[in-house]
């Protein structure tokens, strides 16, 4: 290594002699180049800072900055807000004893009926209502739901059916009549999580003198889930449809 360093010094001296400069001058030239480069860079930077500060003082820059800030905030806030929208669709009340458990219709997987049977067995109410539609070929989805609830151990005489329920408002009207006929004062509404707030709102509006508690099917796959709902095609459909239905319910639109 020592020999290498000495060799390098010797080479440099030879090279200095060759191009005709005094020994040690090359180091000076090198350092002065670095100094000049630094000065040039600083002046460039200074110029750039001046241009930037002038630009930042302009109206266009302020608008650009504001738009960038909004976009950045939007990028980070949108998932939080969308999750909140999903959570906002759910209403889950503290369970109290009621006269009847109502499993609203429209669940092809029958999770609502399953949840209603669970609540019945836990003793939250003595009656169960299921709901459905009459099809042209002589079958009724409500009958199938009743068969399922019976299969889960609820006695036949404890189950009633709401028929001809094309939508939640129609269902709420028929439920109100049924509760009046049977003298039931309170009900636990069982439906899918995404439907729970609107369903409870609708039945409360249809039967103001009665008490309702919401106990939805727990959210989660394959049913709808509020967390990152926009990433799943089925959940997006249900959420958007629910929001449209909310708008329709609030303006008292199509029935």
Partner 1 sequence: MGRKRIWLRRALISLCLLLAGCVVLFFALPKLLIAPANVAKSDVILHSSISTQSTADEYVVDLYRQGVARKIVCVSSQISWELYPGDYAREHLISLGVPAEDVLSLRLPVAPCDAVNLPTVAEFVKAHGWRSALLITHPEDSRYAARVARRFFEREGVSTAVSYAPEDREELTRNWWRTHWKTQRMVAEAMSITLDLFYAECR
| Residues that bind partner 1 in the complex, under the rule CB under 8 A | 108-110, 113, 132-139, 141, 144-145, 147-148, 151, 166-167, 222, 232-234, 236-237, 240-241, 244, 254-255
Going by DSSP bridges, is the β-strand pair 128-131/211-214 parallel, antiparallel, or unpaired?
unpaired
What is the smallest separation between the CB atom of 248 and partner 1, expressed in angstroms?
Answer: 8
Q: Which is nearer to partner 1, 126 or 167 (CB)?
A: 167
What is the smallest separation between the CB atom of 218 and partner 1, expressed in angstroms?
Answer: 18
Q: Which is nearer to partner 1, 182 or 241 (CB)?
A: 241
Is 92:216 a contact under the CB 8 Å cutoff? Answer: yes
What is the smallest separation between the CB atom of 107 and partner 1, expressed in angstroms?
Answer: 8
Instruction: Tell me the C-alpha to C-alpha distance, in Å, between residue 180 and each of 16, 33, 99, 168, 191.
Output: 111, 98, 12, 18, 21
What is the smallest separation between the CB atom of 233 and partner 1, expressed in angstroms?
Answer: 4
What is the smallest separation between the CB atom of 173 and partner 1, expressed in angstroms?
Answer: 13
Phi/psi zone of residue 232: left (φ > 0), alpha (ψ -120 to 50 degrees), beta? beta
What whole-number distance in Å separates Cα of residue 158 and Cα of residue 149?
10
What is the smallest separation between the CB atom of 234 and partner 1, expressed in angstroms?
Answer: 3
Q: Which is nearer to partner 1, 18 or 108 (CB)?
A: 108
What whole-number distance in Å separates Cα of residue 106 and Cα of residue 168?
9
- Token representation of residue 204: 């409360």
Q: Which is nearer to partner 1, 98 or 130 (CB)?
A: 130
Task: Specify the 3-state DSSP secondary structure of 90.
Answer: coil
What whole-number distance in Å separates Cα of residue 225 and Cα of residue 83?
10
SS3 content of the chain, % helix, strand, coil (to 5): 60, 10, 30
What whole-number distance in Å separates Cα of residue 14 and Cα of residue 4?
15
Q: Which is nearer to partner 1, 61 or 148 (CB)?
A: 148
What whole-number distance in Å separates Cα of residue 159 and Cα of residue 178?
12
Q: Which is nearer to partner 1, 141 or 214 (CB)?
A: 141
Q: Angle at the Cα of 143 (from 137 to 117), degrees rounded to 5?
A: 155
Nearest-CA neighbor of 144 among 132, 156, 129, 160? 132
Q: Which is nearer to partner 1, 43 or 151 (CB)?
A: 151
What is the smallest separation between the CB atom of 237 and partner 1, expressed in angstroms?
Answer: 6
């Amino acid at each position: 290594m020592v020999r290498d360093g000495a060799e390098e010094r010797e080479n440099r001296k030879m090279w200095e002699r060759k191009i005709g400069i005094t020994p040690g001058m090359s180091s000076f030239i090198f350092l002065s180049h670095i100094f000049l480069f630094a000065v040039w860079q600083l002046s460039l930077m200074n110029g750039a800072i001046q241009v930037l500060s002038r630009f930042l003082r302009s109206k266009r820059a302020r608008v650009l900055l504001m738009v960038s800030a909004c976009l950045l905030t939007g990028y980070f806030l949108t998932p939080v807000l969308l999750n909140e929208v999903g959570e906002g669709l759910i209403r889950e009340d503290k369970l109290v004893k009621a006269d009847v458990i109502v499993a609203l219709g429209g669940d092809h997987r029958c999770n609502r009926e399953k949840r209603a049977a669970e609540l019945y067995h836990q003793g939250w109410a003595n009656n169960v209502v299921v709901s459905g539609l009459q099809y042209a070929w002589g079958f009724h989805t409500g009958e199938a739901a009743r068969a399922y609830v019976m299969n889960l151990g609820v006695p036949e005489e404890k189950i009633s059916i709401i028929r001809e329920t094309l939508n939640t408002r129609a269902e709420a009207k028929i439920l109100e009549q049924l509760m009046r006929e049977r003298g039931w004062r309170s009900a636990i509404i069982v439906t899918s999580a995404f439907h729970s707030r609107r369903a409870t709102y609708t039945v409360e509006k249809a039967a103001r003198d009665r008490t309702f508690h919401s106990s939805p099917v727990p959210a989660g796959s394959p049913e709808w889930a509020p967390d990152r709902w926009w990433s799943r095609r089925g959940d997006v459909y249900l959420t958007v449809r629910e929001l449209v239905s909310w708008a329709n319910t609030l303006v008292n639109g199509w029935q």
